[in-house]
Amino acid sequence: MLKLFWSGLRSSPAALGALLLLSNSALAQTTPEVSNIDTTESSSTSLVADPASDILQKIEQYNPIDLSQGGDEPLGQVNAVNQLRDVRPTDWAFQALQNLAQRHQCLLAYPDNTYRGNRAMTRYEFAAGLDACLEQIQRQLATLDTGVSARDMETLRRLQEEFAGELTILRRQVDALEVRTAELEANQFSTTTKLNGEVIFALADAFGDQEPASNIAGGENVQTSFGYRVRMNFDTSFTGKDRLRTRLQAVDVARLDRPTGTSMSRLAFDGDGGSAITLDRLDYRFPLSDTVRVNLGAAGFVADRFVPLLNPLFDSSENGAISRFGRYNPAVYRTAGDTAGIGFEITPSKQFRVDLGYFSSNSGSPIPKNGLFNGAHSALGQITVSPTENIDLAFTYVNSYAPGDDVNVTGTTGSRNAFRPFGSVATSGNHFGLQTSINFNQVTLSAWGGYVSAEAKDGPNEGNKADIWNWLVLLGVEDLGVEGDQLGFIFGMPPKLTDIDNGTSDPSTSLHFETLYRYPLSNNINITPGFMVITNPNHDDNNDTVWVGTVRTTFKF
């Protein structure tokens, strides 16, 4: 079976030579008619026939040599080009192929559909051009789009006979090169590291009617701040299917929970690293099989590294919600353990997925109440179901434990009572979360509800239990004004202590209102003005409403 001309052109330099060296005579001169070709009509459609006796005299001028190869190697040694006599423009074979090319348009190698060449070429270069014409004429015979005259059939037969050896060798070389190329593409991979990064500039301020004092929320004396966050990700792959991510970070964005007296006012991208460059993230992921991927984390390893959060438009700190609460469900994704761990992504189908994870804080410390298993830690399991392409549902369960000096049940989100219901007492928790996301073309609706049953594990309150709830609804509209923009509305209740044994629950209810608009200045620069309003901060109606405004500019590279 003949190879397609373009396949030969990509794989064999001989084919390229045929195109470059058969040149301008198609335009510069008219090739004389070949008078010594039998034009008798023939009913045979075969392109290969027994050599005729008169052909032997004509092919002697090409000084035929032995082109056979020994052994079974497809790319065995062949005679050097300088040992072969070139095919010249004045030769019968050259002119015959050129006539075929003109009549059947089988060598249109240039953008203006011309076939150029008036120079001698090697027999292998000539054979590559002949092979292309044979393939084109075979297609014409198969489709019956264009008739092929008996004269052309006879010309092709004679050319095949004269260059049979070269054609055979070229085809074997093409086959071998294709096999080797496929093998290289399948197996060759060099270890590479790619750099990508982001920079955030943040202008922020908070407002309220009351000065924060004695843990009473307000914002009267909060000053306007301008901060930044820089992240540099170094992504390294060793096999092409794995990834080692090393992230360096420097951040100095105001934590508004301190001047306002409530963590409900925190920004999604805040941090007070004091401009120090720190190792913010170090994790490695690799496929265990076609349906299982493993994630190993040594620094900054938390659930959102691999678990579907079902908040696609707002879970990003650089381009999503402006508030910490608005990113994802704090009841299940902001639990104990934020340093090291392991996670498994199990995806038997597009409609069903299971995620398992274990997370630990202070895993590198060997002292009591620290280490991989004796410090703050949590174990997570999540089932995600996608009944249709635009609907996702997830149920999440987490079991957590934190020693007395490291308790943070809801990840510094919500009221102080919510993330430390028993104070600085060792606390365990059973966390439950239900998340959903529905996409309607440009509109995405997401929502979640979270519940935590916390239990004191030490001190006079040992065995006491507490209930903590939160919920949120998010609506995002993309490409509203220009391509790439996003308008968002967020409304919900931050984590609230609703019931506690032998203690006092939160007396009132805070509501979180947030709106933002992300505008793309370019493919790599976004600017996002936004503001949020927290009523009854810390779930206490004695506290005045807090207003937070920010302008976040994100640069990605």
Write the DSSP assignment of 208-247 as a string of letters.
-SS--BTTB---TTPPPEEEEEEEEEEEEESSSS-EEEEE
Residue 124 near residue 176, CB atoms below 8 Å: no
- Residue 183 pLDDT: 82
Q: Tens digits of per-residue pLDDT, 464-476? A: 999 999 999 999 9
Q: Is the pLDDT of residue 79 over 50?
A: no
Taking residues 337-347, report their average pLDDT. 94
CA distances from 534 to 6, 139, 303, 414, 547 (A): 67, 74, 27, 11, 7
Question: Which residues sit opposite 489 in a β-bridge?
Answer: 475, 515
User: pLDDT category, 492, cuts 50, 70, 90?
Assistant: very high
What is the C-alpha to C-alpha distance for residues 237 and 161, in angstroms, rounded to an integer? 52
pLDDT at residue 426 is higher than 90:
yes
CA distance 433 to 425: 24
Q: What is the pLDDT of residues 378-415, one digit of tens each?
A: 999 999 999 999 999 999 999 999 998 889 999 999 99
- Per-residue pLDDT at 57: 46
Highest mean pLDDT among 50-64, 223-237, 265-279, 360-374: 223-237
Could you tell me the pLDDT band of residue 497, with boundaries at 50, 70 and 90? very high
pLDDT number for residue 149: 79
Q: What is the pLDDT of residues 178-201, one digit of tens each?
A: 888 888 777 766 778 999 999 999
Q: In the prediction, which pLDDT does 59 show?
A: 40
94 — phi, psi (to 5°)? -60, -50
Please compute the mean of the pLDDT values over residues 50-54 and round it to a whole number.
42
Q: Is CATH 1.10.569.10 the right assignment for the domain spanning 195-556?
A: no
Q: How far apart are CA 144 and CA 137, in angstroms?
A: 10
Model confidence band, residue 144 (pLDDT cutoffs 50, 70, 90) = low
What residues does CATH 2.40.160.10 cover in the chain? Answer: 195-556
User: Which amino acid would we find at residue 364?
Assistant: G
Overall average pLDDT of the 150-162 stretch: 83
The residues, any chain, with a CB within 8 Å of residue 87's CB and separated by 6 or more, are: 62, 93, 94, 120, 121, 122, 123, 125, 126
Mean pLDDT within 115-138:
76
Q: Residue 109 has what pLDDT?
A: 55
Higher pLDDT, 394 or 142: 394
Confidence (pLDDT) at 217: 56
| Rounded average pLDDT over 136-165 | 78
pLDDT, averaged across the chain: 83
Has this prediction a pTM greater than 0.75? Answer: no
Residue 19 pLDDT greater than 60, yes or no? no
